[in-house]
Structure 1
Amino acid sequence: MQQAPVVVFDFDLTLTRWDTADRFFRWLLKRDPWRFGAVMIALPVLAPMFLFKTSRKWPIRFAVWVATLGRRPDDLAALVEEHIRSLPTGADSVFLPLALERLASHLDERHRVVVATGSLEPLARALLDQAGLAHIPLVASTLRPFLGGLARDQHCFGSNKIPMLTARGFAPPWAIAYTDHRVDLPVLALSTQMYLISPTPECLARIEQALGKPATVLAWR
């Protein structure tokens, strides 16, 4: 029996209105002034690293570590729930209505839908669950203990999405992929159809040049 087509959705700024992990970790830093202060003190050293593609990951990893100092992986679920409750207009506003409609249409067509995201697994899972999407498989980033805080374990980002999706039973090629950013070029290259969500002109041009074919743009944002 032929398997149903697999549809891969990115999460942040594809299904959601904002970068959910970025907002979560900023919230963690700001709720404890000493954490925010530690990052500010280190900023003169960290800021120049953003100038280079090979080093810009280190300031982000440092901020995540500071935001989670004294935390364990088991603490994340409670922090995520508190963060979601703190959202100004409720969790329902996180998602783009047109994105949810498109996702629902794939489910109606009996497609195998999976969300693959660099966002934190407990955070993305809780948001999907609150939106009534608990049945949607999720492949997301994880953290591990490191020097009293938490650090990156598996990062579901860029080309690393491919082995992580494969390990979960969603091996390429994929029928359709949705994303907002060129970092997902490796996923798009292994998909028959691609949809770009409100991309910048530069992002659109780079993806079409790299893949040698036009992309369909969806103005969800």
Structure 2
Amino acid sequence: MTATYPPPRDDAPLVVFDFDHTLYDGDSGTHLFRWLIMRAWWRRLLALLLAPFAGPLVAFLPTRRAGISAFVWAGTVCERAPLDALIDCYVALHAEALRARLLPVGLEVFARHRAAGDCVVVATGAPPELARAILALAGHGDVPVIGTLLGQRLGGMGARRHCHHAMKMTMLRAAGYTQPVAQAYSDSSADLPLLQAAAQPVVVNPKRARVAMFRRVLPPGTPILNWGCPGRGGEAVA
């Protein structure tokens, strides 16, 4: 079910939320791709064969898209069902667990912006269909989502445009969100272009080792909060 919120005001500020580790406890795309791979023994074997090459690529920003694409391909090669149908199946099978991963504090802030008539957008490295389907479990399925675009590749799927780092801002602008970013919420140092573009950046659930870096590169007084991600940094919010 989708809750009822007023449409964004004509002069609404643009508020951008990351999804993974911000509204969702974990990496939703990785969880989906793992499920896709685990469906068959031969997909598991294929992923194991690719891991020595693709795994290190995921660790580095310039090669991350290629590494992710290899595992997406292992989970989708020779698949006849469209990606949207696979995502619907995954979310239906895991609805309770996915709902439990949504962070209540984050959802409260998210809903507060929507209730105020702000222009709220989710920009995520996950496939947009996945983030939208998970948000629908909490009544936010109608929120615009900008995410990584997957396309056909060698009989399977691969990442054609990764919504990550500077590309996240590029994809937001290409989607028509050309106004200044009023507020941005993210956990990731890869989202520095987004956080630095925002008039009011908010760091949420960062890795503890990254807190000092965020304090150094973002404006003094930038909130660094923990919305309920165990093992992550930031000031705890009740």
Using the size of structure 1 for normalisation, the TM-score is 0.90
Q: Is the CA contact 2:187–2:203 (under 8 Å) kept in the aligned structure 1?
A: yes
Structure 2, unaligned stretches of length 5 or more? Answer: 1-8, 230-238
Deviation at 1:129, TM superposition (A): 2.1
Q: For 1:4, which of 12, 15, 20 is the aligned residue?
A: 12
- Please name the residue that 2:120 is paired with: 113
Q: Is the CA contact 1:172–1:191 (under 8 Å) kept in the aligned structure 2?
A: no
- Please name the residue that 1:198 is paired with: 205
Q: For 1:70, which of 72, 75, 78 is the aligned residue?
A: 78
- Please name the residue that 2:152 is paired with: 145
The 5 A counterparts of 1:149-164 are 149-164=156-171
Q: For 2:99, which of 76, 92, 97 is the aligned residue?
A: 92
Deviation at 1:215, TM superposition (A): 2.1
Q: For 1:31, give the aligned amino acid.
A: R
Q: For 1:62, give the aligned amino acid.
A: A
- Please name the residue that 2:196 is paired with: 189
Measure, in 1, the Cα distance between the counterparts of 2:157 and 2:58.
21
| Change beyond 3 A, Cα 1:173–1:208 | farther
> Secondary structure at 1:178's aligned position in 2?
strand
Measure, in 2, the Cα distance between the counterparts of 1:79 and 1:168.
25
Q: For 1:10, give the aligned amino acid.
A: D
How many residue pairs match? The answer is: 220
Q: For 1:209, which of 178, 201, 216 is the aligned residue?
A: 216
Measure, in 1, the Cα distance between the counterparts of 2:210 and 2:59.
19
Deviation at 1:99, TM superposition (A): 0.6
Deviation at 1:88, TM superposition (A): 7.3
Measure, in 2, the Cα distance between the counterparts of 1:119 and 1:33.
25
Structure 1, unaligned stretches of length 5 or more? Answer: none
Using the size of structure 2 for normalisation, the TM-score is 0.84
Q: Is the CA contact 1:158–1:186 (under 8 Å) kept in the aligned structure 2?
A: yes
Q: Is the CA contact 1:84–1:90 (under 8 Å) kept in the aligned structure 2?
A: no
